A and B are shown apart, each in its own frame.
Chain A
Amino acid sequence: MMKLTLRVWRQKNATAPGRFVTYEAKNVSQDMSFLEMLDVLNEELIGRGEEPIAFEHDCREGICGSCGFMIDGLAHGPKRATTVCQLHMRSFRDGDSLTIEPWRARAFPVVKDLIVDRSAFDRIIQAGGFISAPTGSAPDANAILIPKEHADLAFDGAACIGCGACVAACPNAAAMLFTAAKVSHLGLLPQGQPERDDRVRKMVTVMDGEMFGSCTNIGECEAVCPKEIRLYFIARMNHDLIKAGIKVRKMSQQAARI
């Protein structure tokens, strides 16, 4: 059994000032996930009549993107390609002292304790992260042929769970890796082509408007991404946007002719 000292950010609500509170986590099994360790601590807090530490979580199997906070200055903690729910206490040592704080970004205001509001991501998706195709019954498999490399790459982008770690780890609080993954996974597939230029233009415009920062190609986003989305996706989005920018006038001329 391990014992840990946790310095946790406590903030009552979005407007209240927050502060760090130190807790002792006793009887921590190394087989517990980080969230289970917090669950046990919360049980103890509830037993003492204190407010439990609020953190977001849902699937607890690393695929929903709900969980995530900073552990000792690292988004999702020290283990690569892992969400905080899949991080186990064996990654730490008995007697460790850990600082736990929420994602810090103007676009991600703190709701309570470790929970931030990531709806800025939803608004980026709403701006263009979809295809306008009639849905209905599932189409025949392979009715549209897609080169294997494109399908693989599109899937790599689609693996994004929108957890916000890229923004959290970025020294500029930029949302480029998230937006790039969403722009690219559709932009790489035939179904995404009709709206490709429009999509990247709208999503980047909303991204900028949501008060995320500006990318400096530092690569911290890639390093903390639990889905290992690569920096190349950002280059791909840059390329798409510059190309779409060049096409702006050509399109308005065509529209005028129609």
Chain B
Amino acid sequence: MNASAVMMLWGTSIGKKAVMAVTGFILVGFVIGHMLGNLKIYQGEEKFNAYAAWLREVGSPAFGHEQFLWLARLILLMATALHIVAAAQLTQMSYDARPVSYAQKKAIQATYASRTMRWGGVIITLFVVYHILHFTFGAVGFTPGQYKHLSVYRNVVIGFSVWYVAAFYIAAMVALGLHMYHGVWSMFQTLGLNTENAGRPYQALATVSSIVVVLGNISVPTAVLAGLLK
């Protein structure tokens, strides 16, 4: 793989889709890791806060304080940017391809998830912005003085005790689950791995991974609202 091959692929619709598949793979990997990290909250305040502190020391001593964290953030940011740019260009292409819409149009086998990828992507993007402002910066969703950097356990419990914030998180996770349900399978289809014999395992992988991520993530605000985490 080299520069000219990448440019040739980026110049085609299929190449842009391949970029979406590869960046999607990176983002799904992050989402699964993030969900597993979230579950550490059930080990108690001390261990959960220690996990947050450890994230800043990953790769030590080869990496300095927060260096690996920032590397990961940079990669995620670039993957997100490429994913969104490719999606926007491909969407424009599709909108241009049908200037006159049908008076009547029925879907036969398209799933709800597959038909809501674009809006799902927009919702997830808005959620991520809110999520970072909320738990990373403490800039929204907290009264002044409530948010304490690295007191992640307290921050989560206080943050989710506001019911509409918790409800927004839960709704966003359902959107993420739908996006993953079609996206994970699409990854294999787009990269050409979905051959005549291989389709079913990929569909199963998409179903299982999206359900696990949604349930794992939703459990946290639900547990706070139910008073199980305090």
What is the interface of chain A, defined by CB distance below 8 A to chain B? Answer: 7, 9, 20, 70, 72-74, 99, 101, 104-107, 153, 169, 171-174, 201, 204-205, 207-208, 211-220, 222-224, 230-232, 234-242, 245-249, 252
Q: Which of B59-67, B191-199, B217-225 contacts A (4 or more CB under 8 A)?
A: B191-199
Distance between A111 CB and nearest chain B CB, rounded to angstroms: 14
What is the interface of chain B, defined by CB distance below 8 A to chain A? Answer: 1-2, 4-6, 8-9, 11-18, 90-91, 93-111, 114-115, 117, 182, 185-186, 188-196, 199
In the complex, which of the residues A171, A230, A252 has the most CB atoms of chain B within 10 Å of its own CB atom? A171
Pull 6 A–B residue pairs with CB atoms less than 8 Å apart, ordered by A: A99-B104, A105-B98, A171-B115, A235-B192, A242-B14, A245-B9
Distance between B14 CB and nearest chain A CB, rounded to angstroms: 5
Are A173 and B94 closer than 8 Å at their CB atoms? yes
Are B96 and A106 closer than 8 Å at their CB atoms? yes
Are A174 and B114 closer than 8 Å at their CB atoms? no
Q: Indicate whether A74 sits within 8 Å of B108 (C-beta atoms), given known contacts A212-B97, A231-B189.
A: yes
Are B94 and A72 closer than 8 Å at their CB atoms? no
Known: A106-B96, A219-B114, A220-B107. 6 other contacts (CB 8 A): A9-B103, A70-B102, A212-B97, A231-B194, A236-B192, A245-B15
- Complex-state Cα separation, A70 to B102, whole angstroms: 9
Are B12 and A241 closer than 8 Å at their CB atoms? yes
Q: Which residues of A contact B110 (CB under 8 A)?
A: 171, 218-220
Distance between B211 CB and nearest chain A CB, rounded to angstroms: 20
Are B97 and A73 closer than 8 Å at their CB atoms? no
Q: Which residues of A contact B189 (CB under 8 A)?
A: 217, 231, 234-235, 238
Are A107 and B97 closer than 8 Å at their CB atoms? yes
Are A220 and B104 closer than 8 Å at their CB atoms? no
Q: Indicate whether A214 sits within 8 Å of B106 (C-beta atoms), given known contacts A232-B195, A232-B196, A234-B189.
A: no
Residue of A101, A172, A235 near B194 (CB, 8 A) is: A235
Distance between A92 CB and nearest chain B CB, rounded to angstroms: 15
Are B12 and A208 closer than 8 Å at their CB atoms? yes
Q: Indicate whether A153 sits within 8 Å of B196 (C-beta atoms), given known contacts A104-B101, A216-B117, A235-B189.
A: yes
Are B191 and A239 closer than 8 Å at their CB atoms? yes
Are B15 and A241 closer than 8 Å at their CB atoms? yes
Total CB contacts across the A-B interface at under 8 A:
159
Q: Which residues of B contact A105 (CB under 8 A)?
A: 97-98
Are A213 and B97 closer than 8 Å at their CB atoms? yes
> A242's closest neighbor in chain B, by CB?
B18
Are A214 and B103 closer than 8 Å at their CB atoms? no
In the complex, which of the residues B99, B115, B188, B189 has the most CB atoms of chain A within 10 Å of its own CB atom? B189
Are B97 and A174 closer than 8 Å at their CB atoms? yes
- Complex-state Cα separation, A252 to B108, whole angstroms: 45
Are A238 and B114 closer than 8 Å at their CB atoms? no
- Complex-state Cα separation, A238 to B12, whole angstroms: 11
Distance between A167 CB and nearest chain B CB, rounded to angstroms: 9
Q: Which residues of B contact A211 (CB under 8 A)?
A: 96-97
Q: Indicate whether A205 sits within 8 Å of B12 (C-beta atoms), given known contacts A217-B185, A231-B189, A236-B195.
A: yes
Q: Which residues of B contact A205 (CB under 8 A)?
A: 11-12
Q: Indicate whether A246 sits within 8 Å of B5 (C-beta atoms), given known contacts A99-B103, A101-B103, A238-B17.
A: yes
Distance between A30 CB and nearest chain B CB, rounded to angstroms: 23
Are B192 and A240 closer than 8 Å at their CB atoms? yes
Distance between A15 CB and nearest chain B CB, rounded to angstroms: 13
Distance between A219 CB and nearest chain B CB, rounded to angstroms: 5
Are A235 and B195 closer than 8 Å at their CB atoms? yes
Q: Indicate whether A232 sits within 8 Å of B194 (C-beta atoms), given known contacts A70-B102, A238-B17.
A: yes
Q: Which residues of B contact A72 (CB under 8 A)?
A: 104, 106
- Complex-state Cα separation, A239 to B15, whole angstroms: 10
